[in-house]
Structures are given as structure tokens and as C-alpha cells.
Structure 1
Amino acid sequence: MVRPHSMLRTLVALLLLAIVVLTGLKLGAWQLSRASERMELAATIAAGRASTPLQLNANTPASQFSPWRSASASGSWLHQYTVLIDNRNHGGKPGYWVATPLLLPQDASTLAPNQPSTALLVLRGWIPRPVHPNQAQQPIPTPDGMQTLNGELLDHVPRLIQLWSWSKNPSAQLPDTWPTDSTAVVQNLELNELSRVSGLHFLPTILAAKPDPASGLLQDWPEPLLDADKNRGYALQWFGFAAIAGIAWLIVLWRALKRQRQRRSSNI
């Protein structure tokens, strides 16, 4: 007769090993998916940077806004709508990304009635954040007049992972009305939300400015992680764990069946 506690241990072991097998297979597949995503991103970046540089204007069609494509634009800064994007470190130092709309010139004859002028959101650069209570914030340069900028296009402002938020609105720190007495500071910046609260009409793209010593800001944007081989290595590890657990599952099952046959033989 099979002892109940022995059978229970066998069933528990088989269940746990099966969970390990399924978990390893799922995580391995997820790592392969991440590797595929990184390969696609690398191809997108290469294609964008290989494209002919784009001269942006208020009437540039959205089909031209390929991510990572080099582009240039001319216009005047709307400094009253500048936003600081917080927790963007550089070289281990805390700081902000400075984002300011650039008002693009447009022929009045092409504007529809009541249509607002078009702006381009520009990531201008990085400034350090004060680390001591009495330390003053570095002034944000506010050049006037027509500006000409060079940079790369992005389809969105790179986001930080938010584990929690007091508000369901990711851009809740944006002021409801502008201009304000102080510069808005946010964790993440959504173009649609900025357009809603500012009343500005934006091109559906972002320009990350290229290095310009005259800007008074640091343009050293982080590159996306593109090491797909690392994900493949992790996938191989997870599949290896799943294989080991699968072999152990078969061994436990084989031993359980062997014991059961032996007990049946001894009872004959």
C-alpha cells in the first residue's frame, strides 16, 4: 500500500517542478521578445539616422517624422512655457532636462480661421539640480529672436518608470494655466497634455537638440540599451532552468511509478 505522506510529497514535488518549468519557459520567451524589440529599435535608429536630414516647418507632414532622423528648425522660443523634467541624472549628478516650445514661422495665408500657430517641443539640454537647500538653481538661458536648431527627432519624451503616483494623470504637475510665476517641474512630459494645458498646437514630434556650446546647456542624451545578446543569454539561462526542472520532474515521476510497481509486486 502506498503511504499517503509519500504520495503527497511526490505530488507536491511534481507540482513545484512543473511551476518552475512553466516559469522558466515563460521568462525565457519574454527575454527573447525583449531581444527582438531591441533589434527592431536598433534597426529603427539606424534607418532614422541614415535618412536625409529634415528641415522642419509648420506644414511638415507627420509622415516625415521618423524617429532618430536628423532635423533642423528655425523659430523663436516661447520661454513662458518652459518645463523642467526632473530626475534626469548625468554623470551621477541629479538634474533636469529643459523642454521649451519653439514657435515656428507660418504664412498667415495658410492659417485657417482661429487656428493657433504651430510650435515644436525641443529638448534643449540638461542643467544640474541644486543639492543643498541654500544652493541657487542654475539660470535657464532665455535667448530672444530667431533661433536655428539642429537635433534628432523623437516620437515622445523618454519616460521614467513611475511605480506609483498620487494622481492618475502622469502630467498632473503641469500648471492649469500659463504663464506662471515659476517654471513647471514634472517627472514625465506628455506632448498631448502640454498642448492641452498650454493651448499650443504642436507638431507630433520632439526635437532633441544636438550639442551646442553656445546654448549654455549640456546636450548629452542617453542612448537606448540595444544589447540584444544579453537578453538572449538570459533566455538561455531560463530555458536551462526549465530543462533541468523538466528532467527532475521526469525523474521524480519515474521513481514514484517504480515504487508503485514494486509495492504492487510485493503484494502479489
Structure 2
Amino acid sequence: MVPQPPASRTKALSALILLTLLAAACIGAGQWQLRRAHERETLLAAIEAGRQAPALTLDAQHRDGPTWHPAKVHGHWLNPFTVLLDNRNLKGQPGLWVATPLELQDSPGTAVLVLRGWVARPLPPTTLPNLEAATGPVLVQGTLLHRVPRLFDLGSLTGQPDPALSAAFPHTDGQPPRVQNLPLDAPAAATGLDLLPVLLQQAPTQDAGLIQEWPGPSTNASQNYNYALQWFSFATIALIAAGVLTWRTLRRPPPSPHA
């Protein structure tokens, strides 16, 4: 056998370290995909359990409930405090979500924020249609959520997040304010209402021509399992290559002292 020079052994050792690190990174990515799959399976189970649960009634004494559970509430719409959530698409069409507080019938000054539905974004020179909800006592039914689904906020990366609601509410021009994301504490601070710690995603109904088709969270765990299998396959290939490299390096004799 031809003795292996020291430079070749150094290169082989470097390649072995890189292959080992690559395998470790692939294994870590595969494990992350498995965790995401388990999270989505848990979320799907919670959604299915909520759909089968009896509807909760929200009032001054029952202010909260599990996410994804159906709920109903009696009250009056507070149209002056309507907020529009921008960049909410439906089947590829740009539009807005309409959110309006509903004052509880048994507790004046206490309200629950309701995502009423979707409306297409008007193209100039057209304007938004009349979005005011019906006056008088109403019964609103829907699904409980603990936060408004968020969109990616580029400003959060630069330290300048999208502007929240103005302190002066409602606006003097009479037009509902537009925001991209709406944490529950924002309308509470802007309106002075005692908002419940949950919001209601309204079920399909007749409400100012709005469309109640809500995009649900992704629960496709099989996709994560497929990705995990790919990452583990890459790790296996890297480990096999490392094993072959180690075997070829060890079977060669060390360099001769007189080389």
C-alpha cells in the first residue's frame, strides 16, 4: 500500500468534520419538522373538539372560553368603533376584514370584539359600501379566538412596526381606521371599552353584505412528516459518506518516517 501523506489525512479529517456537522444540522431540521407536525396535530385535535362542543354564552360573568369553541352573545353593535384590517385576501382577491365591538346586553360599557366578515378592497374612484351593522339588540354567533390572526409586519424587523389605532377614536372624518394587525388591547385603549379577553369570528350570516369565509390555520402535518423524512435522508447520506471516508482513511497505512 502507498502511505498516505499528512496533507491527505488533514483534508480527510476536515471533510469528516464537515460531514458530521452537516448530518447533525439535517437531524436537527428533521426533529424540528417532527415537532411542527405534532403541533399541527394538536391544533387539529383542538379545532375538531371545539366544533363538537356546545356553544358557550358570553356575558359579564362568562368572559372567556377555549379557543375554537363556538359561542354566542347578545348585545348591540358599536358602529362608530369599527376597524378595518387591511391586506386580507379571499380566494386571491384583496380585501379587508371588518371588526366591530358588540356591547353586551347585560353589561353596558363591556364589549366583545367581533370579526364580522370580509369585504373587497374598492378600486378608485369607488369607495367602500356602507358597513354599518344593524341597530338594536342582536344575537351574534361564531367561533372564539384569543387574538386576531396576524400578518407579517415588516416594520417589526426595523423597529418601526405598523401604526396602531389613533388615540382619537372614532376618527373625525367618519371613516373607519385601517390597520394591518390588531391586538386586543389596542381597541380597548382607543375606545375606553372593557373588552373581553376573547374575540368572536362571526359565523355565516346576513351582515352588510360581508362574507364570512375565514382562513383557518394550516393543519397539514403530513407535509412536515415528508420534510422530516427528507432531512433524515440527507443526514443518512452524510453519515454514510463520513463512514466511507473514515474507513478509507483508516485502512491506509501511516506515512513512512523517511517519506
Corresponding position: 1:204 with 2:206:
no
Deviation of 1:210 (Å) = 0.6
Paired residue for 1:179? 170
Paired residue for 2:118? 126
> Per the alignment, in what secondary structure is the counterpart of residue 75 of structure 1?
strand
Letter in 1 for 2:111: A
Paired residue for 2:249? 256
The one-character-per-residue Cα deviations of 1:160-207 (angstroms, maximum 9, x if unpaired) are 122434875756331122121231111111002221222111111110
* Preserved CA contact (<8 Å) 2:110 2:195: yes
Corresponding position: 1:68 with 2:68:
yes
Letter in 2 for 1:158: P
- TM, length-normalised to structure 2: 0.89
Deviation of 1:59 (Å) = 1.9
Deviation of 1:149 (Å) = 1.1
Query: What is the alpha-carbon distance in structure 1 between the residues aligned to residue 155 and residue 181 of structure 2?
Result: 13
Query: What is the alpha-carbon distance in structure 2 between the residues aligned to residue 99 and residue 169 of structure 1?
Result: 24
Q: How does 1:94-243 map to 2 (within 5 A)?
A: 94-106=94-106, 117-130=109-122, 132-165=123-156, 168=159, 172-180=163-171, 181=173, 182-243=175-236
Paired residue for 2:28? 26
- TM, length-normalised to structure 1: 0.87
Query: What is the alpha-carbon distance in structure 2 between the residues aligned to residue 170 and residue 57 of structure 1?
Result: 34
Higher helix share: 1
Aligned length: 255
Query: What is the alpha-carbon distance in structure 2 between the residues aligned to residue 239 and residue 153 of structure 1?
Result: 38
Paired residue for 1:84? 84
> Per the alignment, in what secondary structure is the counterpart of residue 181 of structure 2?
coil
In structure 1, the gaps of 5 or more residues are 108-115
Letter in 2 for 1:106: D
> Per the alignment, in what secondary structure is the counterpart of residue 47 of structure 1?
helix
* Preserved CA contact (<8 Å) 2:131 2:208: no
* Preserved CA contact (<8 Å) 2:164 2:182: no
* Preserved CA contact (<8 Å) 1:58 1:119: no
Deviation of 1:37 (Å) = 0.4
Determine what percentage of the aligned residue pairs are the same residue. Answer: 42
* Preserved CA contact (<8 Å) 2:70 2:144: yes
CA pair 149-61 structure 1, distance change in 2 beyond 3 A: closer
Query: What is the alpha-carbon distance in structure 1 between the residues aligned to residue 29 and residue 218 of structure 2?
Result: 19
Deviation of 1:4 (Å) = 4.9
> Per the alignment, in what secondary structure is the counterpart of residue 213 of structure 1?
coil
Letter in 2 for 1:212: T
Query: What is the alpha-carbon distance in structure 2 between the residues aligned to residue 159 and residue 250 of structure 1?
Result: 46
CA pair 230-15 structure 1, distance change in 2 beyond 3 A: same
CA pair 244-71 structure 1, distance change in 2 beyond 3 A: same
Paired residue for 1:111? none
Query: What is the alpha-carbon distance in structure 2 between the residues aligned to residue 11 and residue 135 of structure 1?
Result: 69
In structure 2, the gaps of 5 or more residues are none
CA pair 167-23 structure 1, distance change in 2 beyond 3 A: closer
Query: What is the alpha-carbon distance in structure 2 between the residues aligned to residue 175 and residue 88 of structure 1?
Result: 21
Deviation of 1:229 (Å) = 1.5
Paired residue for 1:110? none
* Preserved CA contact (<8 Å) 1:49 1:69: yes
> Per the alignment, in what secondary structure is the counterpart of residue 189 of structure 2?
helix
Paired residue for 2:53? 51
* Preserved CA contact (<8 Å) 1:150 1:209: yes
Deviating above 6 A after TM superposition, structure 1's stretches of 4 or more consecutive aligned residues are none
> Per the alignment, in what secondary structure is the counterpart of residue 105 of structure 2?
coil
* Preserved CA contact (<8 Å) 1:170 1:188: no
